[in-house]
Amino acid sequence: MPQPFDLTACEALELIRRKKLGVLELLDSCLSRVETLEPEINAWKFLAPEAARDRAKQLDNSDPDSPMHGIPLGVKDVIDTADMPSGYGSPIYERHRPAADAACVAVAKRNGAIILGKTVTTEFACGSTARTSNPLNINHTSGGSSAGSCAAVAAKMIPVSFGTQSASSTIRPASYCGLVGMRPSMGVISVAGFKYFNGSFDTIGLLARSVDDVELLWTSQMDVPFKPGALRAKAPKILVCYPPWMTGCEPSAREAIDKTAAAMAAAGAKIELLELPAEYADLPELHYEIQRFETARSYAHEYGTAADRLDWRVRQTVEEGMKIRGDRYIEMTKRAQKLRHEFPALMGDADAIMTNAAPGEAPQNWRLLGDDFKMGDPLQSRAWTLLHLPTVTVPSLIGPQGLPVGVQFLSPFGSDQALLGIARWAESVLKPSLVARSA
């Protein structure tokens, strides 16, 4: 029999509802896992085990009819929690305690989730580094900026967590850690209580070890029905995309696209190649320029009062953004809006686009490289974030260093639940071969 911490959220929920698993039993198993692995992984900024146990006891004495009844959940430390510190990864906010929970946290609590603690983030989720290890190989990074949220789920300390994404902060680290990660359509899940970074792009990210668990998070936030394990009756039509910004990616990034396309075609999917229009080629740069302009305004207070306490990369981004003119920003946002409007026509009658989720395997971390380590390039998701699209990454292959590489699926704005159905279908096709490669 698996240990409770081995269970996915949906598996645990089923056992809890059948009275074959206690909420406190599940929580204590997760806490035991945290105690064992956290010294090497460093996934958590703050833990609240006693408050979590009190909540678990309450839930054990109530009817298990809430959507996330008793499921332990991690919250990235740029998302506010009223009963825990919210430091935003910055020494400036080391003792900060918000007055209210972020909207996504409040909804998760209402739906029966147990907030176990706050997970490590890079400073303001804005391009610095975090010393969080990849549980699959502690000499490699878990990626950023949702470093702790991904590591905690990959290490089976918790079944699900909230991350965030303003560029690639959910999709890329999910790929590095062998997880399913989702960036929902822009604005569909409220970002109230997320430390403001980019109003044009800030999104709550959803992280788990299965598509079912990610859909559980999404549906519980949206108050829509959900049936775990439901597979499409018909194989999808998928457009395979090798974007121009793949230049410089590792061979494993292209191999993940190739392997996934071949596996889906063998399972009956209709596969066609998508060549992006020439006007898409500079979208990553367009995203980055808008991001810098907004960052300079978002962190005007921190820069004006405590610039010397900002990470140098955050300070540099602010200073670069201050040089961008307002009329240029308006021009860029108008172009982005035009492309968002035109995107559905690019897809035609296809169900989704499939492309790479990351530049390759997770980079080596400080243990091998010292302070000059990197947490991975966000380039591969910038364009899709700019377009406000829902995206879901699923593990595709095991690369030459023995670490996972994912692909991401994307579809038009508002098609989130249909996209999760595509991802679940792909997961069912890819999982057997991924397990075989892993062995």
Parse the chain into domains and list their residue ranges: 4-222
Q: What pLDDT does 439 receive?
A: 35
Residue tagged active-site, from 86, 90, 142, 169: 169
Q: pLDDT value at position 50?
A: 98
At residue 253's C-alpha, the angle toward residues 136 and 133, to 5°, is: 25
Q: Where does the pLDDT of residue 40 fall: very low under 50, low under 70, confident under 90, or very high at 90 and above?
A: very high
Query: What would the mean pLDDT of 97-104 be, rounded to a whole number?
Result: 98
Q: Is the pLDDT of residue 7 over 80?
A: yes
pLDDT at 79 over 50: yes
- Using alpha carbons, select from 349, 426, 341, 339 the residue that is nearest to residue 391: 426
Do 133 and 140 meet the contact criterion of CB atoms below 8 Å apart?
yes
What is the Cα–Cα distance from 135 to 216, expressed in whole angstroms?
24
Give the separation between CA 198 and CA 187, rounded to whole angstroms: 12
Q: Tell me, yes or no, if 169 is annotated catalytic.
A: yes
Report the alpha-carbon distance of residue 144 to residue 154 in Å, rounded: 14
Which of these is catalytic: 45, 76, 118, 259?
76
Query: Is the separation of the CB atoms in 364 and 140 below 8 Å?
Result: yes
Which helix or strand (DSSP H or E) is residue 258 part of? helix 251-266
Specify whether the CB–CB gap between 403 and 365 falls below 8 A.
no
Phi/psi for 161 (5° steps) reads: -155, 160
- Cα–Cα distance for residue pair 32/163, rounded to 1 Å: 23
What mean pLDDT comes out for the span 403-407? 98
Active site residue 76: yes
Strand order in the sheet with 160-165: 44-47, 114-119, 72-76, 160-165, 203-208, 180-183, 391-398, 404-410, 352-356, 237-241, 270-274
Q: Is residue 333 packed enough to be buried (19+ CB in 10 Å), middle (13-18) or exposed (0-12)?
A: middle
Q: What is the pLDDT of residues 152-188, one digit of tens each?
A: 999 999 999 999 999 999 999 999 999 999 999 999 9
Instruction: Select the CATH number that applies to the domain covering 4-222 from these four: 3.30.2350.10, 3.90.550.10, 3.90.1300.10, 3.40.50.300.
Output: 3.90.1300.10
CA–CA distance, 117 with 49 (Å, rounded to integer):
8
> Which ranges constitute the DSSP H helices of 93-204?
103-110, 147-154, 171-176
Over residues 208-261, the pLDDT tens digits come to 999 999 999 999 999 999 999 989 999 999 999 999 999 999 999 999 999 999
Does residue 237 have an active-site annotation?
A: no
Instruction: Tell how strand 114-119 and strand 72-76 pair up.
Output: parallel
What amino acid occupies position 343? Answer: F
Choose, from 29, 86, 142, 145, the residue flagged as catalytic.
145
Residue 186 DSSP class: T
Residue 96: which region, alpha, beta or left (left: phi > 0; alpha: psi -120 to 50)?
beta
Closest CA to 206 of 172, 242, 160: 160
Percent of the chain predicted with pLDDT > 70 = 98
What's residue 28's pLDDT?
98
Distance CA 255, CA 40 (A): 31
β 44-47/404-410 pair status: unpaired
Are 43 and 157 within 8 A, CB to CB?
yes
Give me the chain's average pLDDT, please: 96
Rounded to whole angstroms, how far apart are CA atoms 137 and 150? 13
Instruction: State pLDDT tens for residues 326-376.
Output: 999 999 999 999 999 999 999 999 999 999 999 999 999 999 999 999 999
Q: Compute the distance between CA of residue 185 and CA of residue 410 in angstroms, rounded to an integer.
A: 10
- Residue 136's alpha-carbon distances to 1, 4, 37, 152, in angstroms, are 23, 20, 12, 11
Residue 178 gets the label, from left (phi > 0), alpha (psi -120 to 50) or beta, of: left
The DSSP call for residue 376 is: -
Give pLDDT, residue 432.
Answer: 76
pLDDT at 2: 83
- Structure tokens that stand for 151 in this block: 């590591």
Q: Which two tokens stand for residue 158?
A: 């918790």
Q: How far apart are CA 237 and CA 29, in angstroms?
A: 41
- Cα separation, 103 vs 92, in Å, equals 23
Determine contact, residues 120/77, Cβ cutoff 8 Å: yes
Say whether pLDDT at 37 is over 70: yes
**What mean pLDDT comes out for the span 21-46?**
98
Question: Do residues 66 and 60 make contact, with C-beta atoms less than 8 angstroms apart?
Answer: no
Note whether 77 and 86 are within 8 A (CB): yes
In 3D space, the residue among 216, 228, 20, 194 whose CA is nearest the CA of residue 111 turns out to be: 216
Whether residue 438 has pLDDT greater than 70: no
CA distance 121 to 113: 21
- 416-438 and 211-222 are packed helices; what angle lies between their axes, rounded to 10 degrees? 160
